[in-house]
Amino acid sequence: MSEQPPLVSKAFQCFLSQAPQHAQAWGTMVQELSSASALDGKTSALAYLAVLAALGLETGIPFHVKAAKKMGASRSEVISALLVALPAAGHGVTRVLPCAIEAFDRAED
């Protein structure tokens, strides 16, 4: 049995452990922005994946794919969300596809 990669990057783990007050402030801000959003959870999670793909931030993909799946997103919706940025951001968004598909398939239903 192979070891599963962590859902968050080493950099984010370091942030959480070495700057806990900053991490708590960050978490509070994220929760407040989520509460202020007019989007439902699934739509918001899929939109966030599109942003990560557009920015090429692969390290955030596993965590946010799992969140999208938990909110009811299907595998094809996750893939489509990642590729929605294709016209604006270019072919680079496809870099995150393997990571996203692997994370989706690993995530519990």
pLDDT digits (tens, 9 = 90+) for 4-50: 667 778 898 999 999 999 999 999 999 999 899 999 999 999 999 99
Output the pTM of the full model: 0.84
Residue at 57: amino acid letter: L
State how far the Cα of 86 lies from the Cα of 103, in Å rounded to an integer: 20
State how far the Cα of 100 lies from the Cα of 46, in Å rounded to an integer: 12
Number of helices (H), then strands (E), in the chain: 7, 0
Q: Is the pLDDT of residue 1 over 50?
A: no
